[in-house]
Amino acid sequence: MSEILDLAGIFVFALTGALMGVRKRLDVVGMAVLAEMTALGGGVVRDLILNVRPAAFVSLGYVLVPLAATVIVAFWHPHVARVMPAIMVLDAAGLGLFSAVGTEKALDYGLNPLHAVLLGVTTAVGGGMLRDMLAGEIPTLLYDRQLYAVPAMAGSAAMAGLYVTDLHGWPATLAAALLAFGLRIAAMRYGWRAPLARGVRPSE
């Protein structure tokens, strides 16, 4: 069950990577590299910090799913781009899931709650940051003021809170993921924005 959810999150993240490749007019190899990096980057960094072999290098699906996403985008990207609003919803689901699962894994490996939250957020947003950097752009996360890291942080904090009160298992993980997902959707729906430093005018 958790494996399937994981692969679903990887698939959606890979779609955003491959679509970025199309937008930048990369060839299919470049699209595949971006898809793999976006989908697997956050988890690889998490596992390197936890000092375990990255999950992406243990399970076959982790490598194959981004390739499938690349093929789909290469052939049907106008259709994929047309369903972009739906993809953004799925991306929010991936964000929620990865922040909850990443935090839980960090807690399982003995990190204290604050560090586990930091690592959970890294898992959720790391791949997207890598994707943007590879594509020659400042990571969207840093400047676009839409709340993206903050919902991940809320989900991670909820996961850590449930964990330290001994509420483990998939219902806790799902609840934390849903919180992050809901906040991300609400942030998009209502245009919630992160503040700028005092006195800084927005660039638009």
Q: Please name the amino acid found at residue 53.
A: R
Asked whether the beta carbons of 156 and 120 are under 8 A apart, the reply is yes
Report the alpha-carbon distance of residue 42 to residue 52 in Å, rounded. 14
Question: Could you say whether residue 190 binds its own copies (CB under 8 A)?
Answer: no
**Smallest separation (angstroms) from its own copies to the CB of 68:** 14
The correct pick among 75, 86, 108, 171 for binding its own copies (CB under 8 A) is 75
Question: Could you say whether residue 29 binds its own copies (CB under 8 A)?
Answer: yes
Report the alpha-carbon distance of residue 146 to residue 150 in Å, rounded. 9
Asked whether the beta carbons of 96 and 151 are under 8 A apart, the reply is yes
Q: Could you tell me which stretch among 2-10, 87-95, 132-140, 174-182 binds its own copies (CB under 8 A)?
A: 132-140
Binding mask 147-186 for its own copies (x = CB under 8 A): xxxx------------------------------------
Report the alpha-carbon distance of residue 151 to residue 80 in Å, rounded. 25
**Smallest separation (angstroms) from its own copies to the CB of 201:** 8
Question: Could you say whether residue 196 binds its own copies (CB under 8 A)?
Answer: yes
